[in-house]
Amino acid sequence: MSLLEISGLRIAYGQAVAVKDLNMRVEQGEFVSLIGHNGVGKSSTVKAITGLVKPSAGSISYDGASIGGKDPGDILRLGIAQVPEGRRIFTRLTVRENLIVGATVRSSRAETAASVEEMNQRFPVLGKYANRMAGLLSGGEQQQLAIARALMAKPKLLVLDEPSLGLAPQIVDQVFSLLKELREGGTTILLVEQNAAQAIRACDRYYVMRTQGAIAVEAPGGDQADVTKIEAEYLHFGKV
Amino acid sequence: MLWLQYIIDSIGTGALYSLMTLGLALVFSVMGLMNFAYGQLVMIGGFSMILLRSQPWWVLILGTILAVVVVSLLMERLAFRPVRMATAMTMLITSFALAQFLQQSARVAFGANPRPLEQFSGLSEQIEFAGLRISRLSMLTVVVTIVVLISLAVLLRRTTIGMKLRASTEDVTMAALVGIKSNRVIASAFVISGVIAAIVAMLFFSSRTNVSWSSGESIVLIAFVGAVIGGLGSMVGAALGGFLMGFVYTMLNALLPTDLRVFADAFLYTIVIIVLLVRPAGLVAAKGVRV
């Protein structure tokens, strides 16, 4: 049984169909990348998984239970955390408060404090600027905060929507090595990206999505994957 | 010396208006709702004072706060929650309807004529100090306002519920994604707003001799304009905007020549227009406000 299994998923906003009939899965402990152009339905898929949009048909099951249409808070409680597109940190809360709010679904105060400590160890910059307004951090620092905030809920599955968007290349490298590290630590990862080359090399398995959530390719990732071919065939502009 | 006297008088009114504005602005910043029924909460507080007037003072205070908070929570649950996902316009019209409903209910329950409220003898006394007169009520108003401001700041800055309130204010979708229950956060904003409305009622009606079903109207207007010139979505702005409304209004009444005094409102709103022309987002502009 896969940790996350999506079958026959359809997402529509009124008349507009974003995803028509999506089938995909993520195994326990796996790092899966979902790549594709803007507007093919990647973000809608993420939103359906984390409860921000309700599927119009099909099923999403997590750990054997159906989660399609549940509330975001309940889905998070089950163990799926999202790092949203554009980071969306709370700019008028301090760095530390952002982390604490990330642990809302966990009850104990002591546990939360321990996790804040843990994040400060892992991301030294967050400890350094703990009492600073989060809006004052740089883009790369904000991305670290967004990931750390999601980790505060101790998720089993981490879903990231375009974490490399708008970041400098070195920072992007940092984000990817962090994701690999998290996977080594046992966190299952679903990464949604336009940055195909790095997303493919970093993952165990990837999907290429084309219009309305149609899966064009499903293949193993890693350093051996033929990134150039995938890019040339599916991702170059004008060829969609 | 006369100037100093005017300033002292104006500070009392400013403090009261500052409180009025805070209660309205808090709910606005959490859910983007301009609750025009807010003034009716103050009116209900006034009638609660009449009903509890013969009780010990602490029963009157706690009873009034309780009554207003209950109505405020019912408002949220029965009127605003069902339309929360609707447009801002729908919520606004809901609040107008609710204001009408509460006003007319009060009119049926308590009659069309204002009901007399027996004065609290201790509060109207004046204290003389270095040639200046300060009423006890005015001093109490300033002290209570400062206490409420500090409590609200501590609540918002130092408690978990305050953190969640601020997070929801900034990005309600993201707040849901980290598991913050918006129903609970919004309900708590209505509780705080209700407590403030009850305090405003007690301070406001202590300087009046009666309570009427229409008493809430002018209050919500002042609070609304105060919140707008202060900067919608900012608590500091709301406190400042409300204070300036009360302060300037009282100063105008003192300083304008007698013939012009009847136009104090016109002068006040002219100043409001000028402020908004210079700073359209208000004195303290908040980022990312949903209107």
Residues A42-62: tens digit of each pLDDT? 999 999 999 999 999 999 999
Which ipTM value was assigned to this complex? 0.89
pLDDT given at position B287: 53
Q: Could you read off the pLDDT of B225-241 as tens digits, one per residue? A: 999 999 887 888 999 99
* Contact yes or no for B178 and A153 at CB 8 A: yes
* Contact yes or no for B179 and A90 at CB 8 A: no
pLDDT given at position B125: 83
Largest CA distance in chain A: 54
Q: What's the rounded mean pLDDT across residues B185-191?
A: 94
CA distance B174 to chain A (A): 7
Phi-psi domain of A79 (left: phi exceeds 0; alpha: psi -120 through 50; beta: other) = left
Considering the entire predicted model, what is its pTM? Answer: 0.83
Q: Could you read off the pLDDT of B32-52 as tens digits, one per residue? A: 889 999 999 999 999 999 999
Q: What percentage of chain B exceeds 90 in pLDDT?
A: 69
Question: How far is B11 from A112, CA to CA, in rounded Å?
Answer: 44
B181 contacts chain A (CB < 8 A): yes
Residue A239 confidence class, pLDDT cut points 50, 70, 90: very low
pLDDT given at position B200: 97
The DSSP string of B245-261 is HHHHHHHHHHHS-GGGG
Question: How far is B132 from B134, CA to CA, in rounded Å?
Answer: 7
pLDDT given at position B286: 61
Q: Residue B182: closest CA among chain A residues belongs to which residue?
A: A73
Interface probe for B, chosen from A93, A101, A107 (most Cβ of B below 10 Å), is A101
Q: What percentage of chain A exceeds 70 in pLDDT?
A: 98
pLDDT of A240 > 50? The answer is no
B191 contacts chain A (CB < 8 A): no
Across A129-133, A164-168, B119-123, which has the greatest mean pLDDT?
Answer: A129-133
pLDDT of A94 > 90? The answer is yes
